[in-house]
Amino acid sequence: MYEILLVIYLIVALALIGMVLVQQGKGADMGSSFGAGASATVFGSSGAGNFMTKTTTALATVFFVLSIVLGNLTAGQIKKTDEWENLEAPVEAIVAPAASDVPTSTEGNNTSDVPN
């Protein structure tokens, strides 16, 4: 169910982005008001603005409702696991170095072999 809602959420988000990008700005209405072929469009002379506005509003509403539903489902999943309540800090073990880690020798400390 969660994965299906995520796919629908993605499709609605992409459709909402597309609808916003396809719409014309407020200043573009001036040229179409003088009969620049607006009556030959698919939605009629003024139907495209209303159709796109209503579609954008519907997509935005579905987007926000899905956001709330997915947020509640995600919060429910986090509460069910309770992994964060039983965490413990790791205990570090103190290891003393062994006495034989570094070899020591008193023989061969003669520096006369080094050339000047």
Distance from C-alpha of 29 to C-alpha of 43, rounded to nearest angstrom? 15
Report the domain count for the chain: 1
In a domain, 103, yes or no: no
In a domain, 32, yes or no: no
CA atoms within 13 A of residue 60's CA, in its CB half-sphere: 8
B/e letters for 64-77, b = 16+ CB within 10 Å, e = fewer, are eebeeeeeeeeeee
In a domain, 90, yes or no: no
pTM: 0.50
**How far from chain centre, in Å, is Cα 19?**
21
In a domain, 93, yes or no: no
Terminal CA-CA length for the chain: 83
Distance from C-alpha of 4 to C-alpha of 66, rounded to nearest angstrom? 11
Does 27 score more than 70 pLDDT?
no
66-108, pLDDT tens digit by residue?
A: 999 999 888 866 655 556 667 777 778 777 766 666 666 666 5
Residues spanned by the domain of 2: 1-18+48-81
- For 23, 44, 47, 52, 60, the CA distances from 29, given in Å and listed in that order, are 11, 14, 13, 14, 23
Q: Nearest 5°: CA angle at 58, between 41 and 46?
A: 25
36-71, pLDDT tens digit by residue?
A: 555 555 555 555 568 888 999 999 999 999 999 999
In a domain, 10, yes or no: yes
In a domain, 74, yes or no: yes
In a domain, 58, yes or no: yes
In a domain, 37, yes or no: no
